[in-house]
Chain A
Amino acid sequence: MTCGGATDPGYGHACFAYDDPAALHARAVEQVTLGLAAGEQVWLVGPEEPDVVATRLGSVPGFDTALRRGDVRLLAVGQAYRHDAVVDPARQVQAYVRATAESLAAGHTGLRVLAEATDMVRTAGQRDAFARYEHRMDHWMRHHPMAATCAYDRRVLGDAAISELACLHPEGNGDVPFRLHAGSGDAVVAIRGELDASDDRLFAAALERADPQPAAGRLVVDACHLRFIDHRGLFHLRDLARRHGAVVVLRTRRPALARLVALLDLAELRVVVVR
């Protein structure tokens, strides 16, 4: 039994919150440059007309050629996402599964996406569906040659709404107290960071949206990089176990966590201390 190794899982699913369109442009330049250098197909998805984006990126070396050859594709939001008000997580994941396969079939090494998704998450209902979709995509990206940066406009959404989405990304530029993302090996999810009363509701929502499923009655959570969790967080994991009639196995480096679980008599949680 092992712990997830590196501090940063680094499989390329990042949240990018921005206030300044120039920062988003710089990120686009970076992603295009990175993707073309790695032989990936690059999709830039956003609310703007493709022509506008193409003009702005024209000075990136090799951009025009890549665009003509289909190594870069520019999509308005409606083309990449079903333009319903609320995303359908399952159908949307299928679309990117297909797109990854097509990239590989066309001779690329993988698919790299920069998606400006602010329009998809303006309302609470949209955000709820999109957050569920984000976590499903996260599992796909963890295990397949697809990387994505999900960009959100902080001026439109505000910090609280962005936190709901950012905490479901394994990496990002925002300051989030914890991150819940796809696990590796038998761990269905991994949680890193710190969980206390101040992010209690955020965690409850993230856990409910991620909705990790047990296998053979066990729901393994990689908590090796979870620096802190209090009784509130443990109660949410207990509730998750109860919903599934399963045992949540919490893999940690902290023996203190085993003592706290014993103190609270949480029979539905099993703490496995790994060194």
Chain B
Amino acid sequence: MRTGAAAGHVGYLHEAILYDSDDHLLAVVLPFLRDGVEAGEPTMVGLDTRTADLVRRALPAGHGVTFLPGGDLYARPTAAIRAYRELLASHVAAGATQIRIVGELPAVVFGATWDWWARYESAINHAYDDFPLWSMCAYDRRTAPPHVLADVARTHPRVAGPGGSHEPTGVYTEPASYLAECRPAPLDPVQRTAPLVELTDPTPARAREAVRAADGGLLPPDGVDDLVMAVSEVVCNALRHGTPPVRLRLWCAPDRLVVTVHDRGAGPKDPYSGLLPAGDGSDGGLGLWISHQSCDHVTYQRDTDGFTIRLTAGNPHFPV
């Protein structure tokens, strides 16, 4: 049975907390967690270190709340979806009728990589809807930039406030529509320089060789293999599903390799492409899903000229 504001709700109830003080955050989070524990529901916290400590200190001893280990959970959206879906499935298998989570993205993702986290926040409305989940995503209004807060409003149906309020954001947009929009990511400054490599209609093998040759020890060996995998998949997709010519460009910055693959087609049709595994791989959906987990950042760019996918291995957080 669902409890609290989620009583009677089927599937995922996705709320945001837009806080402007620690007291504001605690006023929403503490009753949410307490009620979950009282109802015997798996109740979890996936906050950043500082706010996790704040909540931990405010909870009574023996509180029964699970604090998820931070670490890599929010390194890549696709991996986060996969990890959360496994966690949710295991709780449902163990008999949970509702699961409560309060989470918060680290502030570093509000910069150069926000586009794929905005896609994440939208896609999970669909990806977690298989589960009786009620979650609250905390955003600090003092540090999150306006365009991030605008995306938060469009990807969360409701805002939870102090005193038990649950107000519709009013601008919530269904993920299939939201994800179909063009959401240009900031240009990596290295893209303003001449590419180190430029190939037209490369075979996947030729593209892989170009990445190996360009690396020159910049990335750890595993990092090279991961980028080689992603580039191979993306070039295969462009050759199979795109519109020629397929153009690969590669840049080296001191702390990252950046590869773009462009074709004149419209790009993947599936709005969840890259975030969720699609089909058996024959339609290219699996390759994008793998690429989203083997790179440190992936962007999609659609314009009148066609579709460009950008893959970054290394540090993707250039200043914006």
Assess the A231–B208 pair: CB atoms within 8 A: no
With A256-B226, A260-B229 as contacts: A231 and B286 at CB distance below 8 Å: yes
With A231-B281, A232-B281, A256-B226 as contacts: A196 and B236 at CB distance below 8 Å: yes
B287 located at the interface, meaning its Cβ lies under 8 Å from any Cβ of chain A in the complex: yes
- Distance between B88 CB and nearest chain A CB, rounded to angstroms: 16
Assess the A194–B208 pair: CB atoms within 8 A: yes
| Tally of B interface residues using CB under 8 Å | 20
With A196-B236, A256-B229 as contacts: A228 and B290 at CB distance below 8 Å: no
CA A260 – CA B204 in complex, angstroms?
18
Q: CB within 8 Å of A: which of B280-312?
A: 280-281, 286-287, 290, 293-294
- Distance between A228 CB and nearest chain B CB, rounded to angstroms: 6
Interface of B, secondary structure class, is helix
With A196-B236, A230-B229 as contacts: A263 and B208 at CB distance below 8 Å: no
Assess the B233–A230 pair: CB atoms within 8 A: yes
Complex interface: chain B residues within 8 A of A257 (CB)? 225
In this complex, what residue of B is CB-closest to A232?
A: B281
Complex interface: chain B residues within 8 A of A196 (CB)? 204-205, 232, 236
In this complex, what residue of A is CB-closest to B289?
A: A263
CA A194 – CA B280 in complex, angstroms?
21
Interface of A, secondary structure class, is helix
Q: How large is the interface on A (under 10, 10 to 19, 20 to 34, 35 or more residues)?
A: 10 to 19
Assess the A198–B204 pair: CB atoms within 8 A: yes
Complex interface: chain A residues within 8 A of B281 (CB)? 231-232, 235
CA A140 – CA B233 in complex, angstroms?
37
A107 located at the interface, meaning its Cβ lies under 8 Å from any Cβ of chain B in the complex: no
In this complex, what residue of A is CB-closest to B293?
A: A263
Complex interface: chain A residues within 8 A of B228 (CB)? 228
Complex interface: chain A residues within 8 A of B232 (CB)? 196, 228, 230
With A232-B281, A255-B222, A260-B290 as contacts: A197 and B236 at CB distance below 8 Å: yes
CA A196 – CA B206 in complex, angstroms?
12
- Distance between B100 CB and nearest chain A CB, rounded to angstroms: 27
B9 located at the interface, meaning its Cβ lies under 8 Å from any Cβ of chain A in the complex: no
A177 located at the interface, meaning its Cβ lies under 8 Å from any Cβ of chain B in the complex: yes
Q: CB within 8 Å of A: which of B87-139?
A: none
In this complex, what residue of A is CB-closest to B212?
A: A227
Select which of B205, B229, B236, B290 is within 8 A of A177 by beta carbon.
B205
CA A254 – CA B228 in complex, angstroms?
12
Complex interface: chain A residues within 8 A of B287 (CB)? 230-231
B240 located at the interface, meaning its Cβ lies under 8 Å from any Cβ of chain A in the complex: yes
B203 located at the interface, meaning its Cβ lies under 8 Å from any Cβ of chain A in the complex: yes
By CB atoms of chain B within 10 A, which of A197, A198, A254 has the most?
A197
Select which of B205, B225, B286 is within 8 A of A256 by beta carbon.
B225
- Distance between B15 CB and nearest chain A CB, rounded to angstroms: 30
CA A230 – CA B282 in complex, angstroms?
12
- Distance between B287 CB and nearest chain A CB, rounded to angstroms: 7
CA A257 – CA B225 in complex, angstroms?
9
- Distance between B130 CB and nearest chain A CB, rounded to angstroms: 17
Q: CB within 8 Å of B: which of A74-132?
A: none
- Distance between B31 CB and nearest chain A CB, rounded to angstroms: 38
With A231-B281, A231-B287 as contacts: A198 and B203 at CB distance below 8 Å: yes
Q: CB within 8 Å of B: which of A226-240?
A: 228, 230-232, 235
Q: CB within 8 Å of B: which of A191-232?
A: 194, 196-198, 228, 230-232
Q: CB within 8 Å of A: which of B223-262?
A: 225-226, 228-229, 232-233, 236, 240
CA A256 – CA B313 in complex, angstroms?
14
10 CB contacts below 8 A, A to B, read A194-B205, A196-B236, A197-B204, A197-B236, A198-B204, A230-B229, A232-B281, A255-B222, A256-B225, A260-B294
- What 3 A-B pairs have minimum CB-CB distances, sorted nearest first? A256-B225, A197-B236, A196-B204
- Give the B-binding residues of A (Cβ under 8 A): 177, 194, 196-198, 228, 230-232, 235, 254-257, 259-260, 263
